[in-house]
Amino acid sequence: MPFDTPDLAVGLPTDTPAERANRRVVASWLFTLCFMTLIMVALGGATRLTGSGLSIMEWAPITGVLPPMSDAEWNRLFSLYQKIPQYRLEHEGFGLAGFKQIFWLEWVHRLWGRLIGLAFLVPFVWLAATKRIPRALWPKLGGIFLLGGLQGGVGWFMVASGFFPNTTSVSPYRLVIHLMLAIAVYAAMFWTGLTILHPAEIRLVSPRARLLRRLGFATLGSITLTIIAGGLTAGLHAGLDYNTFPLMDGRLWPADYARLEPFWRNLTENIAAVQFDHRLIATVTLVLGLLTTAVGLTTPLPQRARRAVLALGLAVLGQYALGVTTLLLVVPVPIAVAHQVGAMIVLTAAMAVVHTLRGARPQPAPARKLRRGLV
């Protein structure tokens, strides 16, 4: 048989219609938070690409909810910004009107982060108080909330790195940490939401299903590495160089790949090496994603799993095309933001594949008959 029937599902709940309705409510809440986080990633990308992230030099989690309400406050904040290297080296003379343009984008970015926190905390308290969330899930959701708070704190830690002398942007290392924490929060919410919505594991015992599961995990790992490499590429503004594809200065392997000593510094500080690594890992991800899709579409699977592998194939193709386009056009803001959001969509599709295949297990070996005379 292509896959086992639903009555062989592992952990199939025997709950009531009301309990199933509660699961849908909680899952919808988590998926809404995922969508808000996706918007946050887009806002963060736009903030970085427009150089707006350093426009607010104060960490004010409470009072910062309100924007400047008077000319005096606008001038005070502008005078603070005029003290940092980014203003002197990139924006000197653009005036208060120019400052307001970059200020508003960063302010919306920070406000949206606060709204995500509220959208998590307030419904969580209500859902827990009305017993829609099982007590066993409280620690996990509480951990996700704390991780989100840490991500916000690391965001300020990242911004503060842009105030150092002779710097005009934030540290690439801190940028990657900030990005990966956002992805961790997103992944935890999405996986938890999927598990709440689909708690039963459909037992898949065919060898191809187990192969597909392993391919799904490999793709998920490769996507994560690609995002890390992309964060370093963004942090170094490496996309502004070597704007040809697939060659870099007429070579498959850039001549300056190993110009720094010791060698490991090239992996995080050398523009040529960082961009090449991002290209290489992204290509590996493309191959793994398409291979996973090909195996999935030729393996008898439940409809939900089939939709997930098809979505993964379309997502990796679209994301790879966006990456190449971003490079060839020298990082235009709209396309670069779409590329950053595309990374999250690819991650989402890969997680959906792995989740639907979590019931893939080796088929139990048949019990052998005992020979007569043996105990």
Q: Which of 274, 29, 33 is nearest to 151 (CA)?
A: 33
Residue 320 lies in a domain: yes
Contact residues for 336 (Cβ-Cβ < 8 A; gap 6+): 45, 49, 239, 326
Residues 172 and 277 in one domain: no
Where does a domain end: 142, 177, 201?
201
Residues 188 and 303 in one domain: no
Return the pLDDT at 165: 82
Where does a domain end: 152, 168, 201?
201
Residues 231 and 177 in one domain: no
Helical H segments across 298-332, by residue range = 303-328
Residue 101 lies in a domain: yes
Residues 188 and 237 in one domain: no
Residue 292 lies in a domain: yes
Give the pair of three-digit tokens for residue 76: 């005070």
pLDDT per residue rounded down to tens, the chain (375 residues)? 333 333 334 444 557 788 889 999 999 999 999 999 999 999 999 999 998 988 998 888 888 899 999 999 999 999 999 998 999 888 888 899 999 999 999 999 999 999 999 999 999 999 999 999 989 999 999 999 999 999 999 999 999 898 888 888 899 999 999 999 999 999 999 999 999 999 877 777 778 888 999 999 999 999 999 999 999 999 999 999 999 999 999 999 999 999 999 999 999 999 999 999 999 999 999 999 999 999 999 998 889 999 999 999 999 999 999 999 999 999 999 999 999 999 999 999 999 999 998 876 665 544 444 343 332
Residues 166 and 246 in one domain: no
Residues 193 and 246 in one domain: no
In angstroms, the Cα distances linking 203 to 3, 225, 294, 302 are 7, 30, 21, 10
Residue 63 lies in a domain: yes
- Distance (Å, whole) CA 268 – CA 276: 11
Residues 112 and 242 in one domain: no
Q: Cis (ω within 30 of 0) for the bond into 246? A: yes
Domain that holds residue 90: 1-201
- Do residues 196 and 27 make contact, with C-beta atoms less than 8 angstroms apart? yes
Residues 241 and 166 in one domain: no
Q: Cis (ω within 30 of 0) for the bond into 85? A: no
- Distance (Å, whole) CA 140 – CA 104: 34
Element (H, E) at 17: helix 17-49
Q: Answer left, alpha or beta for residue 313, where phi above 0 means left and psi between -120 and 50 means alpha.
A: alpha
Residue 230 lies in a domain: yes
Q: Which of 176, 152, 148, 172 is nearest to 162 (CA)?
A: 172
Return the pLDDT at 371: 40
Residues 280 and 345 in one domain: yes
- Do residues 106 and 55 make contact, with C-beta atoms less than 8 angstroms apart? yes
Residues 180 and 221 in one domain: no
Where does a domain end: 166, 201, 236?
201
Residues 96 and 212 in one domain: no
Residue 370 lies in a domain: no
Return the pLDDT at 91: 83
Residue 368 lies in a domain: no
Residues 233 and 319 in one domain: yes
- Do residues 154 and 178 make contact, with C-beta atoms less than 8 angstroms apart? yes
Q: How many domains does the chain have?
A: 2
Return the pLDDT at 298: 92
Main-chain phi, psi angles of 368, to 5 degrees: -80, 140
Main-chain phi, psi angles of 187, to 5 degrees: -65, -40
Residue 372 lies in a domain: no
